[in-house]
Structure 1
Amino acid sequence: MPHSPDASTPRSMIVALILLSAAAMAGQIYLIAKGVMALFSAS
């Protein structure tokens, strides 16, 4: 029985990839905010 690429790709894997990318973006924003706060506290 042939499967389409969409059907063979588990939905949980797609959700995990989205969560990982969101966590990476949040980490970058946190690091940038921490750097900005350090700049403001230094000056």
Structure 2
Amino acid sequence: LKKKKLPPIHPGEILRERLLVPHDISPQELATALKIPKEQVKW
């Protein structure tokens, strides 16, 4: 069996699809809740 190589997924894409969009959270709100600079939340 040949394994299909998938392109890497950026962690920000996972955050956006599974957390931010479904829960209507902005990147700024997430950064504030995590007590990290907003620049570290990239999507």
Q: Which has the higher helix share?
A: 1
Structure 2 length as normaliser, TM-score?
Answer: 0.33
Bigger relative CO (Cα 8 Å, ≥ 6 apart): 2
Q: Computing the radius of gyration over CA atoms, which structure comes out larger, 1 or 2?
A: 1
